[in-house]
Amino acid sequence: MKYIFIIITVSAVLACRENKKSPETQHRLPFYNTADFTPQWIDPSSAEYKNIHTIPAFSFTDQNNETVTDKNFSNKIYVADFFFTACPGICKKLTTNLTLVQKEFVNDSNVLLLSHSVTPEADDPKKLKQYADNFGAMDHKWFLVTGERDQIYSIARTAYFADEDLGEKKSTNDFLHTENMLLIDSHKRIRGVYKGTSELQIKNLIDDIKILELEK
């Protein structure tokens, strides 16, 4: 009986400790520093933490013909993806699924969406605006951007690792293809990768955004 009491007591103490854990310590998203998207959990106190891969500065034009830069996303969590308005199938699914993210965080100014056209020479602001309106994209919440092809393809491949043909040297003449959506934290670091055509993974993305918002 004495041993049973001790076991019950220890179990109760551990349960209390578990219940006292803050949401911040219960879950923590990994970082993604390489194109193979190997998740890494990096101790904030380590030297490695200061060298985590980040999204560099950028400047594009959105559906309202306004300049959009990395400063628009300072201290914001955002989801990045790649599409083109003439895409007959997959892009529509990607964009439809992004509307679910917008709906979930419609009143949360800390969460933004950033969709890059991979045919920027065809997708001018007018076309982007029509496309945005068709999907109910909210101005200054969901940015659909165009710009110089070299700049978009460079940041897609070197910053977001957004190409499904890994290991092959590519130029801007090679079409960029990816179904991935990338979750970027308020310090411009990649914290999640999701198949954008999967509603289940979109639910995971939404859950991970909520986890990310708890980080300090």
Q: Which domains does the chain have, with CATH numbers?
A: 28-212 (3.40.30.10)
The reported pLDDT for the residue numbered 71 is 98
pLDDT at 198 over 60: yes
What the block records as the tokens of 52 is 């985590």
Tens digits of residue pLDDT in 60-99: 999 999 999 999 999 999 999 999 999 888 899 999 999 9
> Which runs of consecutive H residues, i.e. helices, occur in the chain?
2-19, 23-26, 90-104, 125-134, 149-158, 199-212
CA-to-CA distance for 88 and 211, rounded, in angstroms? 34
pLDDT in tens, 26-65: 468 999 999 999 999 999 999 999 999 999 999 999 999 9
Residue 16 reports pLDDT greater than 60? no
Q: What is the mean pLDDT of the chain?
A: 86
Q: What percent of the chain has pLDDT over 70?
A: 81
Q: Is the dihedral of CA 110, 128, 123, 94 positive or negative?
A: positive
What's the pTM?
Answer: 0.84
